[in-house]
Amino acid sequence: MITRFAPSPTGPLHLGHAYSALLAHDMARTEGGRFLLRIEDIDQTRTRPEWEALIYEDLHWLGLDWPTPVMRQSDRLPAHAAALQRLTSLGLVYPCTCSRADIRAALAAPQEGAPLHGPDGLVYPGTCRGQDRAATNAAMRLDMAAALARIGTAAELGFTETGSRHRGTHVLDAGRLIKGVGDIVLARPGLGTSYHLAVTVDDAAQGITDVIRGEDLFDATQIHRLLQALLELLTPTYHHHGLIRDAKGKRLAKRDDARAIRKYREDGASPDDIRHMVGL
Ligand code: GLU
């Protein structure tokens, strides 16, 4: 078993991150496997070296250990570009120059009905699909219908989920991927990659057998499973765990500094207190 914790260094780790990291670490240790760390720092406008340093500090304090050097996604751009190239050569990718405002305007057209929200926000209405526009400063999108046609029977592509809320075997739902997810961004303008592409390619490169992460990412797993099929990558087992919420029931975000691990450390909590707080 190889598990991973893949934080983005865009703020302090909070209790929810501690839960993910501890769970991934404990599951690997119980199985005699390995726990890896990956720094998801593709968005260089939001990542900061001080947040990355704090990640190491917090995780070490929690008692976690991992092999070094850690994988950093910003070093992996050539691998992401190669995957994008492969999808492009299959005829599944197109450039998109729509701004958020363009997308909202297109979705506001009377014939569109109520705009749908997918794992990445508003489902893209497909404005640039088949347009063959100049590709400068464009996002690169996956033509979802073409991608599904390419893999044949979506319902034959499955993944195993071991998290309690969705436990079982799931198969891809083509209708939902087309209507409720749509033509996702594979490469953001000026970045050359995206969360979905990077996480799929890098989980495979690290040989991750079990992806342990919050259930807010459960819906994204269909996308990752599809990309694995298109790129001929192995599919890990998934474990989406419940989210740690604040007293009002709202899920924690990076800006919730009150729940930052650093804050608990400074207030004299022990790593066992943190384990207890997240229910481990
Ligand atoms: N980097 C993502 C985050 O910090 C997690 C990605 C994943 O576990 O798939 O939210």
Helix H, strand E, coil C: the string for 110-122 is HHHCCCCEECCEE
Kindly tell me if the per-residue pLDDT of 137 is higher than 80: yes
**34 Cβ partners below 8 Å, 6+ apart?**
1, 2, 3, 28, 67
How many residues comprise the chain?
A: 280
Mutate to test the pocket of ligand 1, among 10, 213, 218, 228 (most ligand atoms within 8 A of CB): 213
* Mean pLDDT, residues 51-65 taken together: 98
* E-assigned strand segments in the chain: 2-5, 34-39, 71-72, 93-96, 117-118, 121-122, 139-142, 158-161, 168-171, 185-187, 210-214, 237-241
Same domain? 30 vs 107: no
Cβ of 6 less than 6 Å from ligand 1: yes
Residue after which a domain boundary falls, among 147, 172, 202: 202
Kindly tell me if the per-residue pLDDT of 207 is higher than 80: yes
Same domain? 62 vs 134: no
Atom of ligand 1 nearest to the CA of 17: 4
Q: Which residues pair with 47 in a beta bridge?
A: none
Q: Does an H or E element contain 100, and which?
A: helix 100-108
Determine the pLDDT at residue 255: 66
Tell me: cis bond preceding 9? Omega within 30 of 0 counts: no
Cβ of 16 less than 6 Å from ligand 1: no
Cβ of 8 less than 6 Å from ligand 1: yes
Q: Domain with 34 in it: what CATH number?
A: 3.40.50.620
Handedness of CA 246, 214, 279, 162 (dihedral sign): positive
Q: What is the percentage of the chain residues whose pLDDT exceeds 90? A: 85
Burial of 212-244, coded b for 16+ CB within 10 Å and e otherwise, reads: bbbbebbebbbbbbbbbbbbebebbebbbbeeb
Q: 150: left (phi > 0), else alpha (psi -120 to 50), else beta?
A: alpha
Q: Is residue 213 part of a domain?
A: no
Give the pairing of strands 34-39 and 71-72.
parallel
Q: Tell me the residue type at 227.
A: L
In Å, how far from its chain's centre is CA 215?
A: 11
Q: Is residue 28 part of a domain?
A: yes
Same domain? 64 vs 146: no
Q: Is residue 48 part of a domain?
A: yes
- Give the count of domains, the chain: 2
Same domain? 23 vs 90: no
Ligand 1 center to residue 98 CA distance, Å? 26
Same domain? 114 vs 191: yes
Kindly tell me if the per-residue pLDDT of 121 is higher than 70: yes
Same domain? 12 vs 119: no
Cβ of 7 less than 6 Å from ligand 1: yes
* Mean pLDDT, residues 211-219 taken together: 96
Same domain? 65 vs 108: no
Owning domain of residue 6:
1-75+244-280
Determine the pLDDT at residue 164: 92
Q: What is the percentage of the chain residues whose pLDDT exceeds 70? A: 97
In Å, how far from its chain's centre is CA 224?
A: 8
Q: Is residue 220 part of a domain?
A: no
Kindly tell me if the per-residue pLDDT of 256 is higher than 70: no
Determine the pLDDT at residue 185: 98
pLDDT band for position 225 (50/70/90)? very high
> Which tokens go with 107?
């979705």
Q: Is residue 279 part of a domain?
A: yes
pLDDT band for position 202 (50/70/90)? very high
* Mean pLDDT, residues 248-253 taken together: 74
Cβ of 217 less than 6 Å from ligand 1: yes
pLDDT band for position 111 (50/70/90)? confident
Kindly tell me if the per-residue pLDDT of 260 is higher than 90: yes
Kindly tell me if the per-residue pLDDT of 269 is higher than 70: yes
Average pLDDT taken over every residue of the chain: 94
Ligand 1 center to residue 152 CA distance, Å? 29
Same domain? 85 vs 63: no
* Mean pLDDT, residues 236-243 taken together: 96
Determine the pLDDT at residue 109: 83
Q: Is residue 146 part of a domain?
A: yes
Q: Model confidence over 7-25: pLDDT tens digits?
A: 999 999 999 999 999 999 9
Kindly tell me if the per-residue pLDDT of 86 is higher than 90: yes
Q: Is residue 233 part of a domain?
A: no
Q: Rounded to two decimals, what is the model's pTM? A: 0.95
pLDDT band for position 248 (50/70/90)? confident
Ligand 1 center to residue 130 CA distance, Å? 32
Ligand 1 center to residue 150 CA distance, Å? 28
Under 8 Å between Cβ of 203 and 231: no
> Which tokens go with 201?
């390619």
pLDDT band for position 247 (50/70/90)? confident
Ligand 1 center to residue 145 CA distance, Å? 26
